[in-house]
Amino acid sequence: MNYDAALDQAIGQLHEEGRYRTFIDIERRKDHYPQAVWNRPDGTQAEITVWCGNDYLGMGQHPIVLNAMHEALDSTGAGSGGTRNISGTTVYHKQLEAELADLHGKEAALVFSSAYTANDATLSTLPKLFPGLIIYSDSLNHASMIEGIRRNGGAKRIFRHNDLAHLRELLEADDPAAPKLIAFESIYSMDGDFAPIKEICDLADEFNALTYLDEVHAVGMYGPRGGGVAERDGLMDRIDMFNGTLGKAFGVFGGYIAGTAKMMDAVRSYAPGFIFTTSLPPAVAAGAAASIRYLKGVGGQKLRNAQQLHARILKMRLKGLGMPIIDHGSHIVPVVIGDPKHTKALSDMLLGDFGIYVQPINYPTVPRGTERLRFTPSPVHDAKQIDHLVRGMDALWSRCALSRAEISA
């Protein structure tokens, strides 16, 4: 084996397809996000506006969060010093899990290193708890769920995205006595579309299946207390297990699941991805708990309102220019370009000529032919920044002679 040649071949293929990923080196500026400094490859710097961040509400710089983190850091030090089982469970972890259980109206919650790990560890462990478990997974589920389901050794069925008839067909084809779980997301982050949560729960009831809902792109942002789309729609008690992140709208880091005390106890005891890893630094847990608590209140509602308003304004203005927006009424604003090289070129020009940073989204994150720019307006993007973005897109659309025909979502 010529190892070097194999690596060259693998990386070369990405270049050829125009989907080699370059990480843009940015320094976020506290109190000025979404403004940041871009460290160019040539060593120079430029002021930019971040338009593709997942710090959806700007909580990553909120004083309430930073103060909680400073306090915990100063009183306990840097790391937790252990796994949850061996000296790594602190009052901060307990408080965070209580805050999360309350957020989702569940008895208990379990914090993981990330939502990726929470999905992967939980879904790969469930067949140990329910022998013969069949997992029904939406075809557009996040990579973390796919990985967990793929390596759990159990049976899986993939239903077409949000397709209730297909899901029913698959459920009907299996042994009525087999344990079942339906795994899906409330908001799919690349199109910004919503799942038919109620209808999926109805099917779960009919076929005696458990429900597992990833609310990563909804927690903090939907529902009167930021509990997610299930909270907004009054469906929290119909979901058996929630998954969420502390790294997006909550602005910090980490992930979790929430459910019954018994379910959390079992996962806690059987999931290697929970057991054999150092617990979150206490300061991180403290910051996340402060963020969740804040977003449950009126301050949080103001941010949610502003985020939705800014998303609506941006969509309306881009649509007004005839750009192919996907609009499902969520906070995510995808503009489909449909070709990886054009998408990359637009992204490069926005950054270089306008100081607008939006990362191109390519296969395999989205299907080939639907490559896109994905904008994430937040409460901290102001009217001037939105205007600058719209003007930049308009100018580039003309410069590149891109079609202004509308596509439907």
Give the binding site for ligand PLP (CB under 6 A): 114-116, 119, 142, 144, 185, 189, 214, 216-217, 245, 247, 255
Dist. CA 97–CA 114, nearest whole Å: 14
CB of 277 to ligand PLP, least distance (A): 13
Question: Closer CB to ligand PLP, residue 255 or residue 379?
Answer: 255
Q: Could you tell me if 112 and 84 are in contact, meaning their C-beta atoms sit under 8 angstroms apart?
A: no
Does the active-site annotation cover 248?
A: yes
DSSP E strand boundaries for 160-271: 180-185, 187-188, 193-194, 210-214, 241-245, 255-259
CB of 103 to ligand PLP, least distance (A): 16
Question: Closer CB to ligand PLP, residue 255 or residue 300?
Answer: 255
CB of 119 to ligand PLP, least distance (A): 6
15-18: long-range pairs with CB below 8 Å, 24+: 17/340, 17/363, 18/340, 18/341, 18/344, 18/362
Dist. CA 37–CA 16, nearest whole Å: 30
Beta carbons within 10 angstroms of residue 44's beta carbon: 8
Question: Closer CB to ligand PLP, residue 196 or residue 322?
Answer: 196
Q: Could you tell me if 376 and 300 are in contact, meaning their C-beta atoms sit under 8 angstroms apart?
A: no
Question: Closer CB to ligand PLP, residue 183 or residue 286?
Answer: 183
Where helices occur in 77-133 by DSSP H, the ranges are 91-103, 115-129
Question: Closer CB to ligand PLP, residue 154 or residue 273?
Answer: 273
Q: Could you tell me if 342 and 360 are in contact, meaning their C-beta atoms sit under 8 angstroms apart?
A: no
Question: Closer CB to ligand PLP, residue 332 or residue 386?
Answer: 332
Dist. CA 219–CA 249, nearest whole Å: 7
Q: Could you tell me if 106 and 260 are in contact, meaning their C-beta atoms sit under 8 angstroms apart?
A: yes
CB of 44 to ligand PLP, least distance (A): 31
CB of 222 to ligand PLP, least distance (A): 14
What is the maximum alpha-carbon separation in the chain?
A: 64
Backbone φ and ψ for 315, nearest 5 degrees, come out as -65, -45
CB of 116 to ligand PLP, least distance (A): 3
Radius of gyration over every alpha carbon of the chain, rounded to an integer in angstroms:
22
Set 248, 296, 315, 344: catalytic member: 248
Q: Which active-site residues does the annotation give?
A: 248
